[in-house]
Amino acid sequence: MRRTLILIAILCSAMTAGARTAAFSDSVSRATITSILELTFLIEFDAALASVDSLEMQLGEHPAVPLLRAGVLYCRMLDYEDDLEMAEFEKNYETALALAEKLEEQGEVAEAKLYKGILLGFDAIFKQRSGKWWPAVKTGLKATGHLKDCLEADSSYADALLGIATYKYWSSKATDFINWLPLIPDQKAEGIMLMRRAVEEGLFSREISRSTLAWTLIDNGQLSEAVKLSQEGLKNYPNSNFFLWTLASAYYKMGRLESAAYVYQKLFHRVHDRPRNNYYNELGICRKMGYIYLALNQPEEALKWVETGLSRELNDTVKERRKKTLKTLQELKIKAEKKIAEKSIPSGSNEEQ
């Protein structure tokens, strides 16, 4: 889920250009772009793609159209944890890149740099998802360079701050083990600062910036603020899962286990009822619930959750990707069964008669 959100954060930068170029100067196109990103944030991907089709009718051959379509497709694949639309994604990616190059040749350098930065951001997410952290960092650095060039051309592109902020924090996180070296600076604090600016100054991406900031604060140990941001987001978007994930995670790390269990259970039902469910996210929730209920000394409830996870029929890809989770669920099952057995032994049963 966090990867999905980071991708939407990158995608949001595209809307900034929409507010500054002639192609997007009319209110109808701007409203359509806003709708596409809000629908993606709400996980209403079919409606978002339909809005992209509408945008194509308005703008014709413009790089924003295939870029947004590629972004929605990839967000959906990340959210469902599958690669079923990869061919369509790659086609739109290549089209958007070619149109961005054409735009730069026509003299629209700032906008072209913005689109290139976004597209390279997609590529960085691809590499990170495959476990190629160092290539992801290098590609992300190139993407950030393009976004910085865009901001140098027009510093009012506040939404572009989010892509830069996300890269600064998570690239530093990936290189924590060498950040003590003088040539490898720790940019996590600067990344958080830029995310705060995006929340306050962003024209289109404030809520996505808020959710990205919440995940980042959780990772950085600033849990109370992450809870506050999540609750604020849920007031504005009660039907979105993004703030439920951050709220559950923050509660869990704070030790507020009953609150975390309540939110994870709500997430489980939402994930379970969705189409194209390959159980990847369900297994993660079942593992968390197993930990929670064992810590609450409710082994019966813990056993129910871990057995739910273990009962799912998984395809080979999910089995491989969730290998560690499945092992953990087996271990939690043994612990839960042991605790249940211990509770069933009558008090004083070992005393001599």
Q: What is the mean pLDDT of residues 334-349?
A: 85
pLDDT at position 347? 64
- The CATH code of the domain that includes 149 is 1.25.40
**Number of folded domains that form the chain:** 1
Maximum distance among all alpha carbons in the chain? 95
Distance CA 127, CA 131 (A): 6
- What pTM was estimated for this model as a whole? 0.81
Per-residue pLDDT band for 344 (boundaries 50, 70, 90) equals confident
pLDDT at position 99? 94
Percent of the chain with pLDDT over 90: 44
Residue 19 vs residue 307, higher pLDDT: 307
pLDDT at position 135? 84
| 29 occurs within a structural domain | yes
| 175 occurs within a structural domain | yes
Over 90: is that where the pLDDT of 337 sits?
Answer: yes
| 161 occurs within a structural domain | yes
pLDDT at position 150? 85
Mean pLDDT of the chain: 84
| 336 occurs within a structural domain | no
- For 22-55, write each residue's pLDDT tens digit: 445 667 888 888 889 889 888 899 999 999 999 9
Burial category of 8 from C-beta neighbours within 10 Å (exposed 0-12, middle 13-18, buried 19 and up): buried
| 345 occurs within a structural domain | no
Token pair belonging to 229: 């941001």
Over 80: is that where the pLDDT of 149 sits?
Answer: yes
- Angle of helix 133-153 relative to helix 109-129, nearest 10 degrees, comes to 160
Over 70: is that where the pLDDT of 67 sits?
Answer: yes
Cβ atoms of 137 and 174 closer than 8 Å: yes
Over 90: is that where the pLDDT of 237 sits?
Answer: no
Which of 104-118, 209-223, 284-298 is the most confident on average? 284-298
pLDDT at position 258? 98
Expressed as residue numbers, the domain containing 215 is 2-225
Per-residue pLDDT band for 351 (boundaries 50, 70, 90) equals very low
Q: What is the length of the chain?
A: 353
Token pair belonging to 282: 């369900």
Per-residue pLDDT band for 137 (boundaries 50, 70, 90) equals confident
| 14 occurs within a structural domain | yes
| 40 occurs within a structural domain | yes
Over 60: is that where the pLDDT of 90 sits?
Answer: yes
pLDDT at position 242? 84
Distance CA 339, CA 321 (A): 29
Residue 78 vs residue 290, higher pLDDT: 290
Per-residue pLDDT band for 353 (boundaries 50, 70, 90) equals very low
- For 164-199, write each residue's pLDDT tens digit: 888 888 777 766 555 545 556 788 899 899 889 888
Q: What is the mean pLDDT of residues 338-344?
A: 91
Over 70: is that where the pLDDT of 215 sits?
Answer: yes
Distance CA 242, CA 264 (A): 12
| 100 occurs within a structural domain | yes
pLDDT at position 22? 41
